[in-house]
Amino acid sequence: MQRCIDAAVRKWGVDPVALAALKSHPEGEGSWVSYQDYPRDALDQNKSGTVVVRLTIDETARVTNCVVVASSGMKSMDDVTCRAALKRAKYQPAIGADGRPTSATFITYATFRVVG
């Protein structure tokens, strides 16, 4: 199972060996995508979806890069996910093997779901 996971994250641009070497991964602080971010076109079409992204968090806890690695199928959902991550995502930085804050790249996701 771990080989499959490692292959997937490698395909998405994350080094599983480097990620495993961290003492701790970046820790998220709350949700950075809200109902207010739901794209109007997706709501009008009653569309739900999940956007899988590769985020890079630097040693100061700032999101410095966001890349969609698995699309929701709607460009508007994909775009708003990275915009929100770069603008509002809050993380504690990863801690490297040396015990110091360090930059890390990892995979996360945002789900948009029409309810009701």
SS3 label, residue 103? coil
The CA distance from 95 to 87, in Å, is: 23
Is residue 41 within 8 Å of 76, Cβ to Cβ?
yes
pLDDT-derived band at 81 (thresholds 50, 70, 90) equals very high
What's the pLDDT at 40? 94
Task: List the domains of the chain with CATH numbers.
Answer: 2-112 (3.30.2420.10)
Is residue 27 within 8 Å of 64, Cβ to Cβ?
no
- The per-residue pLDDT for range 23-66, each reduced to its tens digit, is 998 988 878 898 899 999 999 999 999 999 999 999 999 999 99
Nearest to 56 by CA among 20, 8, 108: 108
The CA distance from 43 to 19, in Å, is: 36
- The per-residue pLDDT for range 82-114, each reduced to its tens digit, is 999 999 999 999 999 999 999 999 999 999 998
pTM passes above 0.85? yes
Name the residue with tokens 């509002």: 88
